[in-house]
C-alpha cells in the first residue's frame, strides 16, 4: 500500500517509493538519505502538530509536516 509519510504507521519500517516535489526539496531529502528504495522508520509524530521524527541508518531527523507529506512510502 502506498501512502505519504504523514499517514505511515508509527514505529514500523517503510520503504521510500518517491519524493513528490521540486528539485530543491528532492535534493534536501536525498542529502538526508531519503531516497527511493531506502528503508526508514517514523519514530515520533506529535498529535497536535510539529515535526515528524524519522530514523534512517540509526540517525534521527526532523521533517516538517509539509515535507513529510511529499514522501511517498510503501507499508
CATH code, domain with 39: 2.30.30.90
Range of the domain at 65: 2-74
Q: What is the pLDDT of residues 1-23, one digit of tens each?
A: 999 999 999 999 999 999 999 99
Domain count, the chain: 1
Q: What is the pLDDT of residues 18-43, one digit of tens each?
A: 999 999 999 999 999 999 999 999 99
Q: What is the 3-state secondary structure (H, E, C) of the chain?
A: CEEEHHHCCCCCEEEEEEECCCHHHHHHHHHHCCCCCCEEEEEEECCCCCCEEEEECCEEEEECHHHHCCEEEEC
Is a pLDDT exceeding 90 seen at residue 46? no
CB 3 within 8 A of CB 73: yes
Q: How confident is the model at residue 49 (pLDDT cuts 50, 70, 90)?
A: confident
Amino acid at each position: 500500500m502506498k501512502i505519504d509519510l504523514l499517514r505511515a504507521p508509527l514505529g514500523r519500517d517503510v520503504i521510500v517509493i518517491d519524493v513528490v516535489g521540486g528539485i530543491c526539496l528532492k535534493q534536501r531529502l536525498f542529502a538526508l538519505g531519503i531516497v527511493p528504495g531506502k528503508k526508514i522508520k517514523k519514530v515520533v509524530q506529535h498529535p497536535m502538530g510539529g515535526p515528524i521524527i524519522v530514523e534512517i541508518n540509526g540517525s534521527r531527523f526532523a521533517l516538517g509536516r509539509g515535507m513529510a507529506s511529499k514522501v511517498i512510502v510503501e507499508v
